Amino acid sequence: MLVLVGIVALHITTIIMLLVATIDNAWWITDTVSTDLWGKWELTNSDWHYFNQRDSPEEFLQSVQATSVLACVFAILALFVFLAQLFTLPKGQRFTFTGILQLFACLCIMIAASIYTAELHTNETTGGYGHCYILAWISFVLSFILTIIYLVLRKKSE
């Protein structure tokens, strides 16, 4: 029982980190700019102003946006499926579908962070990656760990 509570807590933590990484505005930061997946905040006259991202390659940014949102959807769906499978499926069939959904979430956030790393802000000399970018990579690791846990649990329950 304690293992299941730990898994649910880890899963919820991963979902929260994915949501913060997708929504918050700190993927790329400088002293006067804070960029997220959806727009850019610029410091002008000690006030922050929001602008749409025009200087980023649109197809790459849209790919990062889409895969980040898909990672959140797959992770949330995996949690609900996990909870439903606990009570509905016999022991030998549990957690396979949950592991697959969690693997999709893991791959989506890896793709999003990889595209962001390879294609966006490559020519900028000032600034660096913000906490949302770091949270995305941590979420990838936690999602991968959850995928392995679900597959190991499936094997143990047979």
Q: 119-151: per-residue pLDDT in tens?
A: 888 888 888 999 999 999 999 999 999 999 988
Contact criterion met (CB below 8 Å) for 71 and 18: yes
Residue 91 belongs to a domain: yes
Domains in the chain, number:
1
Dihedral of alpha carbons 141, 144, 150, 151, sign: negative
Q: Is the pLDDT of residue 158 over 60?
A: no
Domain with 148 in it:
2-26+57-156
> 55-112 pLDDT, tens per residue?
667 788 899 999 999 999 999 999 999 988 887 866 656 788 889 999 999 999 999 9
Q: What pTM, to 2 d.p., does this model score?
A: 0.87
Residue 33 belongs to a domain: no
Residues in the chain: 158
Residue 52 belongs to a domain: no
Residue 83 belongs to a domain: yes
Q: Where are the alpha helices (DSSP H) in the chain?
A: 2-23, 58-88, 96-119, 131-156
